[in-house]
Amino acid sequence: MKKKFFRIVVLVLVLFVGYKVVASGMSGLNLGSFFGDNIKRAKTDNGWNLILVNQDFYVPKDYEVPLLELSNGQKVDERIYPDLQQMFDDMRAEGVNPEVSWGYRTHETQTRLFDEGVQYRMDNGHSKEEAKRLTSEAVAIPGTSEHELGLAIDVVDNGLSYATQPMYDWLAAHSNKYGFILRYPANKVDITKIMYEPWHFRYVGKEHAEKIFNEGLVLEEYIERLN
């Protein structure tokens, strides 16, 4: 009887440990269930500002972000702050009042946002798998979000929960001069796999942003050229 009980306990422990490995792997979700076995650890060969994370590359578990807190409580990688501050100062001088509504996100926060998106779609009649697929087109799956790098910012009008067209127009025309790119343009959804987000900008550095802007590329295409 004792031996049988011991075997049951061991089996339960093995199953529990196995579950934890899958559940806590790269993202808190099983990325393989979304992307297959081809998703890889994001490369840092091109420098911290050119790390590419998307449905092919996940944020390294040991990646550390040197964070700086903004006046509204949002955080970003401290290395992008000087250019971000200069860009916002110049926008304000022209009568545009920007605010970072989202900067750095912890893995847990990204997971919560994704789960909320899935639940919302399930509540509206979609199956769980369909809800996950639809959500992944609007919210990066945890472990694949640029917000987890501290290099992405969502920009809105100060005091509002959205950005007005003048702000979108200004950022689209000038953000590259400060090292930022429109990360998910409308004409490149087939490459980025993320819907058009006119509020989402990614820091890559001035030199790279100018090239990406002038050649009409997205980060995926630019990194492919570099490599």
Closest CA to 75 of 180, 19, 152: 152
Q: Helices marked H in 25-160 — which ranges?
A: 31-35, 81-93, 107-123, 128-136
Q: Where are the beta strands (DSSP E) in the chain?
A: 40-41, 57-58, 67-69, 75-77, 98-102, 152-157, 180-182, 200-203
- The question of whether 197 is a catalytic residue gets the answer yes
Looking at residue 203, its amino acid is Y
State the pairing for strand pair 152-157/98-102: antiparallel
The tokens of 186 are what?
Answer: 């409308």
* Separation CA 200–CA 179 (nearest Å): 14
* Separation CA 6–CA 170 (nearest Å): 67
The tokens of 221 are what?
Answer: 């295409």
| Active-site residue, from 64, 197, 220, 224 | 197
CA-CA-CA-CA torsion sign (39, 40, 46, 50): positive
* Separation CA 134–CA 121 (nearest Å): 8
Could you give the residue numbers annotated as active site?
197
